[in-house]
Amino acid sequence: MKALTLHGVEDVRIETVPDPSLIDPTDVIVKVTLAAICGSDLHLYHGAIPGLLPGTVIGHEYVGEVVEVGAQVRRFRPGDRVVGSFHVACGTCPACLRRDFNVCVNGGTFGYGLGFGNLDGTQAQYARIPYADTVLRHLPAGLSDEKALFCGDILTTAYGAVVNSSLQPGETVAVVGCGPVGIMAVQAALALGAGRVLAIDLVPERTALAERLGAIPIDSSKRNPVSMVNQLTGGEGADVVIEAVGGTRTLALAFDLVRGGGRVSAVGITAEESFAYPLNIALVKDITFRIGVANIPRHMDATLALVAGGRIDPTVVVSHRLALEEAPLGYKLFAERKASKVLLLPHV
């Protein structure tokens, strides 16, 4: 089959590799009908993630059709249209039994190398999906591949961050960063009952998109976001801040934006080892802080229902639809910020 493989820094290629086959009885083989390039794939592209052998198939966002199922697979049959979580979880360890699928002891991420379960990626014509009963979902009738795809990764990641913030109806949510994940957070916050979403970014096109989706834009290249948020909230600050950038500076900003008794939920993944947690501020303001990798299998049914019901349209961030063969171009455009979201069609 054809697949996108990583060979070095900024060196991705379309190659012919062996078709995947069932290994464990909980596996299924999926014919990938749609894949996508995620922001976290850029870390691989830039060589920031150790543990990838040259030629590794990468990618972890996908929708497809089941073509083969292992002997212990109970929920899926060949022909089923499915969307899958970017990370896998066994479904039977103590963490999974608690539904903490993101800390599964047998977990892993597709196409992320030896440190993440050594699983081949999904930017390919076919993929082997371990623990299918736990990590796959049927597509609701009538739902397009494009809309479903986001439920396996960035929409559900952002949604989980909003859920983790214990958002109460009518509250004001500030979203720091309006890239694709931030845009998902804007939509998730609105769908989950936010009274207002304040969308903060340095790039006017990004805040403009957030505004079209119902947010109040704050262009932080021109205005101090802290003073803007204070002004809009009577000096109190936001009830909830969703950090969707991934950096210690934006984390620190989040603590300045949040009101007393508020919550900071960080969805941006940062490579920093630690962060100077502002104890003096947090003590006085009584802040709840959460950061962690997403728990897709836990929240995926809800995001699929919200997308299927038309409450959230994740495809607003899509800028490019390319054949899988053109994926190297897609990576280049994405890395150069000339693409906001690149979808890949493996079978055209």
Task: By CB under 8 A, tell whether 164 contacts a second copy.
Answer: yes
For a second copy, the closer CB: 278 or 328 = 278
How far apart CA 45 and CA 7 sit, in angstroms, is: 9
Least distance in Å: CB of 172 to a second copy? 8
DSSP-assigned letters across all residues of 44-97: HHTT-S----TTEE---EEEEEEEEE-TT--S--TT-EEEE-SEE--S-SHHHH
Judged by DSSP in three states, 259 sits in strand
Contact residue for a second copy among 9, 94, 224, 231 (CB under 8 A): 94
Least gap, CB of 45 to a second copy (angstroms)? 20
List, in sequence order, every residue forming a beta bridge with 92; answer none if it has no partner: none
Tell me how far, at minimum, the Cβ of 160 lies from a second copy, in Å: 10
Give kind and range of the element (H or E) at residue 189.
helix 180-191
| Structural contact between residues 296 and 157, judged by C-beta atoms closer than 8 angstroms | yes
Bridge partner residues of 64 (DSSP):
32, 82
What gap in Å lies between CA 65 and CA 73, rounded to an integer?
A: 15
Q: Within 113-152, which residues bind a second copy (CB under 8 A)? A: 133
| H helix or E strand, kind and range, residue 257 | helix 248-257
Least distance CB 81 / a second copy (angstroms) = 15
Number of residues that bind a second copy (CB under 8 A): 71
Residue nearer to a second copy on the CB measure, 74 or 337:
74
Instruction: Determine the Cα–Cα distance for residues 328 and 340; give it in Å rounded to an integer.
Output: 15
Smallest gap from residue 164 Cβ to a second copy (A): 7
Least distance to a second copy, CB of residue 330, Å? 27
Beta strands 196-201; 216-219: pairing state? parallel
The beta strands (E) that lie in 70-171 are given as 81-84, 87-88, 108-109, 126-129, 136-138
CB 95 within 8 A of CB 286: no
Give the C-alpha separation, 63 to 148, whole Å.
7
Question: Which positions from 318 through 347 interact with a second copy, judged by CB under 8 A?
Answer: none
Question: Does the footprint of a second copy cover residue 155 (CB under 8 A)?
Answer: no
Pick the binder of a second copy from 14, 22, 42, 103 (CB under 8 A).
103
**What is the contact mask toward a second copy in residues 63 to 92, using x (rule: CB under 8 A)?**
--------xx-xx---------------xx
Binding mask 211-250 for a second copy (x = CB under 8 A): ---x-------------------x-x-----------x--
Return the range that interacts with a second copy (CB under 8 A); candidates 51-59, 61-69, 283-291, 316-324.
Answer: 283-291
188-207 binders of a second copy (CB under 8 A): 190-196
Does 269 interact with a second copy (rule: CB under 8 A)?
yes
Among positions 224, 301, 338, 348, the unique one binding a second copy when judged by CB under 8 A: 301
Q: Which of the stretches 3-11, 122-130, 289-297, 315-323 binds a second copy when contact is defined by CB under 8 A?
A: 289-297
Q: Measured from the CB atom, is 100 or 325 closer to a second copy?
A: 100
Minimum distance between the CB of residue 261 and a second copy, rounded to whole angstroms? 4
Residues 6+ apart with CB under 8 A from 209: 178, 183, 316, 317
Burial state string for 258-275 with b = 16 or more CB within 10 A and e = fewer than 16: bbeebbbbbbbbbeeeeb
| Rounded least distance, CB 49 to a second copy, Å | 14
273 is a contact residue toward a second copy (CB under 8 A): yes
Residues between 11 and 30 with contacts to a second copy, criterion CB under 8 A: 26
Residue 227 vs 248, nearer CB to a second copy: 248
Q: How far is the CB of 109 from a second copy (least distance, A)?
A: 12
Question: CA-to-CA distance for 124 and 111, rounded, in angstroms?
Answer: 11
Q: What's the CA gap between 299 and 188, in Å, rounded?
A: 12
